[in-house]
Structure 1
Amino acid sequence: MNAILKPDLATLPPPAPIQQLHHYAYKARDAEETRQFYEDILGLPLYHIIQSDYVPSTGEYCPYTHFFFRLKDGSFIAFFDLGDDVKAEPSPNTPLWVNHIAFRVDTVQELENTKKRLEAHGIEVLGVTDHHIFHSIYFFDPNGIRLELSAQLADEEQMAKDSTVAHARLAEWTARKEQWRKERAEGKAVEPLKPQQNDRPEFVKG
């Protein structure tokens, strides 16, 4: 990973307004298996395909089929079938629940309907889970990607209110993490750092 430099911001153009997600891309074991899941079960239409023997960004030789499914807002989830019939391996140092993609639906009823639809196809689903500001269900696609469907409960006013303390809470965490790193380097810290504030007290045991 490249180190993040700190240039003189006054000499740089402003950041471009990022409007929305264009696409998220992942390795697929099999294109048709993936299409059946995303189009036939989840209802996302197959929208675009790119096929080539060479990777445009790097120039390396790696034949692929790159295919895109369109969401309602015009963004995409996309996949690469490299023709090797192998799906991507999960990260060995990260719990399976951490890395995931979350899609939004309009209502909790739609979550429940989708859960029934998935389970009817033999797909294991966790939830509906109450996250206070939204409800979610969780499941895995054929490529081992953990997916989340969420129905928002909090309105814009509540989310805007929460945003006013986000930087302060992150700064507090960052300061404590710096101290934890020092203690770990000195052999004093063994356990991973825990948040000082617990937003989900209902899960505290004892």
Structure 2
Amino acid sequence: MMIKGLHHNAYRCRNSEETRKFYEDFLGLPLAHALSINETKTGRKTEVLHTFYEMNDGSFLAFFEAPDREFEFKDQHDFDLHIALEVEMDDLHAMFEKGKKLGMETRGISDHHTIHSIYFRDPNGYVIELTAKVPEKTPDQATAAAEAHKMLRDWNDAHAVS
């Protein structure tokens, strides 16, 4: 089996329209598909709306609004969970200004060596990172993979349990 790519990631949302306003109106990801689910495959009655926001590569960010299912929404720490989306550097700066102008929680611009990033919170508490590559600091894939494997080995050696 060969994985072809990401089709979608799915997350819970509090309110589909508030989620749409953030992802479509603010970020510019078009609402491309919606699916109403009234019964599970096991025959349980439910009431769920599944919405899909399309990215330029054809993959989707998707959300489930399930009012009859309990879910603990909480503000996520960046290290716990975040959704990172790639943009061009000019767009990164424009979105930073747009977020600030709208009075949104807007953090950054963070220099992560090979990328620069900014951060927002969506209406569900998820951290959304917009990231732009710094081409002159971005190694080729083989070099990056070799460096990643070395860093992981060093990490494991330093944190090995005896």
**Residue 5 (structure 2) pairs with residue 24 (structure 1):** no
In structure 1, stretches of 5+ residues that fail to align are 1-15, 183-206
C-alpha spacing 1:114/1:174, structure 2 compared with 1 (3 Å): same
Task: Map 1:183-198 onto structure 2 (within 5 A).
Answer: none
Aligned to 1:21, the other structure's residue is in SS state coil
Change (3 A) 1:137 1:68: same
Aligned length: 160
Residue 85 of structure 2 is aligned to residue 103 of structure 1: yes
Query: What is aligned with 2:152?
Result: 170
C-alpha spacing 1:34/1:85, structure 2 compared with 1 (3 Å): farther
CA distance in structure 2 between the partners assigned to 1:138 and 1:59 by the alignment: 40
Counterpart CA distance in 2 for 1:177 and 1:60 is 46
Counterpart-to-counterpart distance in 2, 1:90 and 1:176: 33
1 or 2 for the larger relative contact order (CA 8 Å, sep ≥6)?
A: 2
Q: Structure 2 matches for 1:5-154, cutoff 5 A?
A: 16-56=1-41, 60-83=44-67, 88-90=72-74, 96-98=77-79, 99-107=81-89, 109-154=90-135
In structure 2, list runs of 5 or more residues that go unmatched: none
**Matched residue type, 1:149:** L
Deviation at 1:78, TM superposition (A): 0.6
Q: Secondary structure at the match of 1:115?
A: helix
TM-score (norm 1): 0.69
- Cα RMSD of the aligned pairs, angstroms, is 2.4
Identical-pair percentage: 38
Secondary structure of 2:160 counterpart = helix
Larger radius of gyration between Structure 1 and Structure 2: 1
- How far is 1:118 from its partner? 1.8
Question: Which has a greater percent of strand?
Answer: 2
Match of 1:202 in 2: none
> Following the alignment from structure 1 to structure 2, what is the Cα–Cα distance between the partners of residues 87 and 114?
30
SS for the counterpart of 1:164 is: helix
